[in-house]
Amino acid sequence: MTLTQETTLVTAADVSAAAARIAPFLRGTPLLPLPGERLWIKPENRQPTGSFKVRGAMNAVGLLAERGVEHVIAQSSGNHAQAVAYTAGRHGLRATVVLPDTAPELKVTGARRLGAEVVITPPALREVTCLALADRLGAALIHSDEFDVIAGHGGIGLEIAREATRPATILVPVCNGGLLAGVAVAAKSVDPAITVIGVEPELAADGAASFRSGHRTAWPVQQTYRTRADGLRAPVLGALAWEHIRRYVDNMLTVSEEGIAAAADLLWERLGERAEPSGAVATAAYLAHGANLPPGPVVAVLTGGNVSVPGEGTLGSAG
C-alpha cells in the first residue's frame, strides 16, 4: 500500500471533528507533573478499558454504526480488542476480536467481559485469520491505524498542545504508528514548533529503522515478540500511519527492557499510576534520553495500564 496524495492524510479538521464526536465517551486525562523533573505525564491509562485505544475505536465504530454496520472485527495484541469490544457495545454492535496466544490473560478476559467473541491464534496468523473471518462473517474490519482511528487518537495531541507550555516535546509509544501519526498531525497543527518523537523498545524497533532509512521496514515477528511490551510488537508500521510519520514526526528513540521496567515502577511509586510495559516506554525514553531532548517541558503519553497488579513493569514479572 503506497499513499502519495495529501488528501488521503488525516487533517487537523478531521481530528477536531473526531474529538467532538467522541468526547461524551471519554474521561479527562490531565497533565501530571513528575516532581523534580521537567516531565509531564498524559495518563491515558485512565480511559475506559484502561488505554488510549478507546479514542480511535470509538470514532471508527461510531461512524460505522451511523452507516448501518451491525458487526465489527479487529485483530489486536489486547488493548485495541478491548476498545473495539467496548465501543461496539456502546453502539449496540456485535464484535469479534482476534488475539495472539501470547496476549496477557487480563486483556483476553477483558475483551470477553466487554461482550466480544474472542478468537485466539498464533501471533503470525493474526492478520490472515482476521481477514478470513471478516469475509466469512460479513463484518467491518477496523484496522488500528486506519484513517478514522488515527483521527480519534489525534485528540491526545490537541489536548497536550493546548495545555502544555509551548514549545514542548511529546514522547509517544509506537506500535503500528497510528497513535504517533494522530498526535503529530494534531500537535503540529496547534504549534509547528512542538517536537514529536516516537518511542519503541530496542527489541521491536522496526519503526525506528523505518525512520532512519526513510523506507517502511518490517521486522520478523519472532524478533518483535522478544519485548515484554506486548502492545508494541507489531512487525511493521501501518502504511497510512507511516505517511503521516515521515511528514510530521521529528525523531524516533528506542529504550531497553530494563528501562521500560524502571519507568513503570517509577510511575507507580511517584504518581500512583499503573503502567503496562507498553505504556511506560515514553517515560523510559525521558529517563534514558532526557539530557538530549530539546529545552522546555516534555510530555510522555502513558498509553495503557492494563496490568493485574502495580509493579508489573518490573523485570521478572509476567509480561
Same structural domain, 135 and 156: no
32 with 87, same domain: the answer is no
* Banded model confidence at residue 169, pLDDT cuts 50, 70, 90: very high
Lowest mean pLDDT among 37-41, 77-81, 117-121, 286-290: 77-81
* Residue 220 belongs to a domain: yes
Span 226-241, mean pLDDT?
A: 95
- pLDDT confidence of residue 167: 82
Examine the pLDDT at 65 and tell me if it is beyond 90: yes
Domain boundary among 110, 141, 172: 141
For residue 168, give the 3-state DSSP assignment: coil
CA distance to 43, 204, 281, 292, 312, per residue, from 306 (Å): 12, 20, 14, 30, 10
Q: Cell numbers of 44, please?
A: 491515558
- Tell me which residue has cell 482476534: 98
Dist. CA 119–CA 295, nearest whole Å: 47
Q: What are phi and psi of 54, to 5 degrees?
A: -65, -25
The reply to whether 184 and 286 lie within a common domain is yes
Q: Is the pLDDT of residue 4 over 70?
A: no
For residue 268, the SS3 value is helix
Longest dimension (CA), the chain: 55
Q: Are residues 167 and 196 in the same domain?
A: yes
Does residue 156 sit within a domain? yes
* 74, 208: one domain: no
Looking at the fold, whether 60 and 194 belong to one and the same domain comes out as no
Tell me which amino acid residue 101 is. Answer: D
- Of 141, 159, 188, the residue at which a domain comes to its end is 141
Quote the number of domains for the chain.
2
One domain, residues 151 and 261: yes
Which of 141, 164, 196 is the last residue in one of the domains?
141
> Does any domain span residue 271?
yes
Do the beta carbons of residue 164 and residue 297 sit within 8 Å?
Answer: yes
| pTM over cut 0.85 | yes
**Are 272 and 212 found together in one domain?**
yes
Same domain, 74 and 219: no
Q: How confident is the model at residue 1 (pLDDT cuts 50, 70, 90)?
A: very low
59 and 45 in one domain?
no
Q: What are phi and psi of 271, to 5 degrees?
A: -120, -10
313 is a domain residue: no
pLDDT in tens, 79-106: 899 999 999 999 999 999 999 998 889 8
Please check the confidence at residue 209 and state whether its pLDDT lies above 50.
yes
Residue 19 has pLDDT above 80, yes or no: yes
As given in the structure block, the three cell numbers for residue 279 are 505504556
| Listed residue (146, 174, 141, 179) closest to 52, CA to CA | 179
Clarify whether residues 151 and 130 are in a common domain: no
| 237 and 128 both lie in a single domain | no
pLDDT of the residue at 308:
75
Q: Is 228 part of any domain? A: yes
Cell 503470525 locates to 124
Q: Which domain covers residue 221, as residue numbers?
A: 6-49+147-302
Please check whether residue 101 lies inside any domain of the structure: yes
The burial of 215, by beta-carbon neighbours within 10 Å (0-12 exposed, 13-18 middle, 19 or more buried), is given as exposed
Locate 291 and state its grid cell. 539530557
* Residue 166 pLDDT grade (very low, low, confident, very high; cuts 50, 70, 90): confident
Percent of the chain exceeding pLDDT 70 equals: 94
d(CA 267, CA 312): 11
